[in-house]
Structure 1
Amino acid sequence: MKHIVALTGISAISATGEDTNLHNSLANHNLSFDEDLDAWVGKLPKEIQFKIEKIREENRNYQALDPSVLYAMHVSRNAVAQAGWSFESKFGINIGSSRGATQLFETYYNTFLKEGKTETLASPTTTLGNISSWVAQDLQNNGPDISHSITCSTALHSLLNGVAWLQSGMCDKFLVGGSEAALTPFTIAQMRAMKTYSRAGQEASYPCRAFDLDKTENTMVLGEGAASVCLELGKKENALAYITGIGYATEKLKHAVSISAEATCFQKSMKMALEDAFVTGDSVGISSVREMAGTVDAIVMHAPGTLLGDSSEFKAIHALFGEDLPLLTTNKWKVGHTFGASGLLSFDLAVKMLQSQQYEQVPFISPQAKHKEIKNILVNAVGFGGNAVSILLRKA
């Protein structure tokens, strides 16, 4: 990277609550069994849902918005306030989602099936660009606003885009994020059709066994949530952490939702992030990569809780890092897989680990040897299409 990028504000909501210290309930997940959906899910706590509804009541135009938009508004307000940015300024905004206005779209479509027509606001409130544009309206921002969907790596692709705008000099501040509110019968049915969803009974201790390499079936659980991050170029006194390397890659697929056995996309994206942080010039060999990899103290894995997803990412890490692995962790066993928002919820976990110097142990995995200090953390995400992103974070 030409210049390091400072993280000056961050806000996240998930099944754990709002900006929760994830270490407080180490042995407990925040997933619940939903009788209506007949499935384990990661729902936002009632106190967060109350705050979201208060936003809806502020403005009559907000009453027609999908929860995914309101989630993004909530975390964006908090992140911008923490960073000390003026709401009426010209920072860039890029907030993405895998599914977008899922709840609203299904509601409108069900009405169409029954009545043969739909409501006036059906189109403008279900377009994907709806998220960033409404956040921009809410913050009265005059900079560029962009929305996109790159499946489950969407939020980290938003971060990539924000970093690119900053490095180009086209903006000096950028708000990036991801938001997902897809706890609907149709979405869960889609995951079950692929046979990836957890079949755990209501009494299961851990319905999602993300990063458990000994599991014998897929255990993915869907969650909802959102996160927004404020980025600024260069060193800042109020920096919470620094982005020092970025990596991305796409691999050739044999199937639309598959990933190779050793996740070559992750091997490429992690290697690129390390080179971006430490190397000037051409790509380097594996011995040099191993030397750079030794500076990484922890990796927050994508680890969706599926057999192939978890094992292939672990093999990719092992291929790049060798036997001397950094600390490995994930938060999906606790909050569920939040699709397009998941990468920045992992990013939020990494920031908290850097700040607290506490390691988030996955409770059903054998404890790993702890490093004396956590200085550098790699965050991974990947989505359908084999598109991987890896972000290297450094302690401020």
Structure 2
Amino acid sequence: MKTPIAITGLGSISPLGSNAEEQWNAYQETTTKIAWEEELEAFTARLTPEGQKAIQAIRREDKNYLRIDPSVLYALYAGRIAVAQAGWKDGDFGINVGSSRGATQLFEKFFETYKERNIVPTRASPSTTLGNISSWLANDLKSTGPDISHSITCSTALHALLNGVAWLQSGMAKKFLVGGSEAALTPFTIAQIRAMKLTPTEEGTSAYPNMALNLFKKKNTMVLGEAAAVACLELGKKKNALAYVTAVGYATEMLDHAVSISNEGLCFQKSMKMALGKTDLSEIDAIVMHAPGTLKGDTSEMGAVKAVFGEELPMLTTNKWKIGHTFGASGLLSLELAINMLQEQRFIGVPYLKDKTKDQALNKIMVNAVGFGGNAVSIIVEKA
């Protein structure tokens, strides 16, 4: 990249908490935020009780907010925090906040009504379209720039970042708010994941239901979480920068199966190599991996990392053991973890892994994401 991209604001709401202090404190603990949920008969990672109260407070602010999906409300909460931190007040910024599933809870509710009564409420279509997230976010933040929503499955949030970088580098925008939001803890979504045999069962599960990055596990252990996370992007050096995006990479591979990537993780190899460019491999201090907790996903990404970096690997981590897989929001939550580690100069590892961590300064961290269809993104973020 010719010009670095400053990240001047971060906002999120997740099982870690509803503010930056809570979230960082949660990362210091070795316990997971995943728990068994009887109603869904599945392991899930829900927002904290305080986070749920904050979302309900937003819902009560406006009668229109009573009728929108939680995925939109989560985005509103995260967006307000990020924009306030960045000091954006004029509304002259673009928005690209996407979601893998979109308005899942509302869609399932409307469909149940249709099955029972053979009618569909008038507001069903506008309130369940994917563009609903960014359009309401633009309305709430009084943004006058373009607002875009998309779904690129689990790499949605980092693809949003790619879009923001492109808009800024092209000169078509001065500021861009990017990220993802997911509120898909619903019976039908859980049933879909269970049908693919990706989820752990209650019986015989360890203290960490999602054994992300554990390459010795015998079964898939992916757990679904809910969250929203966004970042404020600006072109060039900024006094209030939290960190800088200095390189991006992306790739899509041809697949034999719609929900997996190749055994070699070819899309990851290509995206990481693109992001690295001519960077010396030793300069990458850590990688926040996608590592969803599935047998294929974890091993293929690890294989790709070894193919690119060889025997001298950076420190490797993920947050999915802690908060589950938040689908469209996951990439930005991984980026948030990377930025926190750069700011605090503390590496957050995976407690059940025996990998040795290095006592070194953290200056450059790579963040990976990939979704169904093998659409990988790799970002390099540097200390401000």
Answer yes or no: same fold by TM over 0.5.
yes
Residue 15 of structure 2 corresponds to residue 12 of structure 1: no
Q: Please state whether the residue corresponding to 1:105 is helix, strand or coil.
A: helix
Q: Please state whether the residue corresponding to 1:113 is helix, strand or coil.
A: helix
Aligned CA RMSD, in angstroms, stands at 1.1
Displacement of 1:23 in angstroms is 5.8
Which residue pairs with 1:151 in the alignment? 153
Which residue pairs with 2:62 in the alignment? 59
Displacement of 1:26 in angstroms is 3.0
Q: How many residues align?
A: 381
Give, in whole Å, the separation in 2 of the partners of 1:360 and 1:13.
19
Matches within 5 A, 1:242-321: 242-275=244-277, 279=278, 292-321=280-309
Give, in whole Å, the separation in 1 of the partners of 2:115 and 2:28.
44
Residue 258 of structure 2 corresponds to residue 224 of structure 1: no
Which residue pairs with 2:353 in the alignment? 365
Residue number among 341, 344, 352 corresponding to 2:329 in the alignment: 341
Amino acid at match of 1:309: G
Displacement of 1:201 in angstroms is 3.0
Which residue pairs with 1:287 in the alignment? none
Which residue pairs with 1:132 in the alignment? 134
Shift in CA distance, 163/22, structure 1 to aligned 2, threshold 3 Å? farther
Q: Please state whether the residue corresponding to 1:58 is helix, strand or coil.
A: coil
Give, in whole Å, the separation in 2 of the partners of 1:25 and 1:391.
24
Displacement of 1:16 in angstroms is 1.1
Matches within 5 A, 1:100-119: 100-119=102-121
Amino acid at match of 1:70: L
Give, in whole Å, the separation in 2 of the partners of 1:201 and 1:317.
33
Question: Are the equivalent residues in 2 in contact too, given 1:26–1:361 (CA < 8 A)?
Answer: no
Alignment TM-score, normalising by the size of structure 2: 0.97
Displacement of 1:202 in angstroms is 8.0
Shift in CA distance, 373/395, structure 1 to aligned 2, threshold 3 Å? same
Q: Please state whether the residue corresponding to 1:99 is helix, strand or coil.
A: coil
Which residue pairs with 1:376 in the alignment? 364
Give, in whole Å, the separation in 1 of the partners of 2:27 and 2:169.
37
Question: Are the equivalent residues in 2 in contact too, given 1:210–1:219 (CA < 8 A)?
Answer: yes
Amino acid at match of 1:13: I
Q: Provide structure 1 residue ranges, at least 5 long, that are not aligned to the other structure.
A: 280-290
Give, in whole Å, the separation in 1 of the partners of 2:61 and 2:361.
45
Question: Are the equivalent residues in 2 in contact too, given 1:101–1:128 (CA < 8 A)?
Answer: yes
Amino acid at match of 2:61: E
Residue 23 of structure 2 corresponds to residue 35 of structure 1: no
Question: Are the equivalent residues in 1 in contact too, given 2:16–2:26 (CA < 8 A)?
Answer: no
Q: Provide structure 2 residue ranges, at least 5 long, that are not aligned to the other structure.
A: none
Deviations for 1:131-158, whole angstroms, at most 9, x for unmatched residues? 0000000011111100000000000000
Amino acid at match of 1:27: T
Displacement of 1:369 in angstroms is 3.0
Give, in whole Å, the separation in 2 of the partners of 1:60 and 1:202.
46
Residue number among 29, 51, 68 corresponding to 1:26 in the alignment: 29
Give, in whole Å, the separation in 2 of the partners of 1:204 and 1:258.
26
Deviations for 1:36-78, whole angstroms, at most 9, x for unmatched residues? 0001000001100101011111111111000000000000000
Alignment TM-score, normalising by the size of structure 1: 0.94
Q: Please state whether the residue corresponding to 1:204 is helix, strand or coil.
A: coil
Shift in CA distance, 297/22, structure 1 to aligned 2, threshold 3 Å? farther
Which residue pairs with 1:282 in the alignment? none
Give, in whole Å, the separation in 2 of the partners of 1:372 and 1:359.
9
Displacement of 1:24 in angstroms is 4.8
Question: Are the equivalent residues in 2 in contact too, given 1:68–1:131 (CA < 8 A)?
Answer: yes
